[in-house]
Amino acid sequence: MDAFSPIPALIGGVLIGLASALLWLGNGRIAGISGIFGQLLPPARTVVWRLVFLAALVLGALAAAWLIPGLGVGGPGGASAQLASPPAGWNIPAPLWIAISGLLIGFGTKIGNGCTSGHGVAGIARLSKRSFVAVGVFFSVAILTVAVTGIV
């Protein structure tokens, strides 16, 4: 967090908003990753655009990482990305910690009827009351998690 630079954050936010708006206006779909990914299995009628969207998401991140080495965690030339390790004293291997975290996130997005990208970017932009509540819960749980685990 020491290397915060507002210009790349602003550019990234504008690009995310633009991509979300284009998907909504061009395809009538909300850019919620859990919904896009979740409809791949079992296959929905509209699989092609979902695969294209997810492939572009991954390839865009790879291209940005290749074009600007070190982009992200510490900014250009900053610290490289690290896997989140379990809290000290929990004696859980990191891969198991990450798998459990992923399953909890998947379960949460299922019962929350969407993920942070769907509610936070598209839902709030549409002034959805449910999305405002969901984002409030996301932030509250995130703050509580940081306070309990000490992981930032």
Reported as a single tens digit per residue, the pLDDT across 98-112 is 888 888 888 888 787
pTM score of the predicted model: 0.65
Domain shared by 134 and 152, yes or no: yes
Alpha helices in the chain (DSSP H): 6-27, 33-38, 47-67, 94-111, 116-117, 124-125, 129-149
> 64 and 132 share a domain?
no
Write down the mean pLDDT value for the chain. Answer: 81
Q: What is the pLDDT of residue 39?
A: 81
| 44 and 104 inside one domain | no
The count of domains in the chain is 2
How far apart (Å, rounded) are the C-alpha atoms in residues 107 and 100? Answer: 11
Domain that holds residue 99: 83-152
21: pLDDT strictly greater than 80: yes
Same domain (yes/no): 132, 92 = yes
Same domain, 132 and 69: no
CB 119 within 8 A of CB 135: yes
Same domain, 103 and 91: yes
Give dist(CA 17, CA 21) in Å, integer.
6
What is the predicted pLDDT for the residue at 144? 93
Which contiguous run of DSSP H or E holds residue 77?
A: none
The pLDDT tens digits for 46-96 are 888 889 888 998 898 888 878 876 666 555 556 666 667 787 888 888 889
Same domain assignment for residues 50 and 111: no
**Domain end point (choices 81, 108, 141):** 81
- Is residue 40 domain-shared with residue 91, that is, in the same domain? no
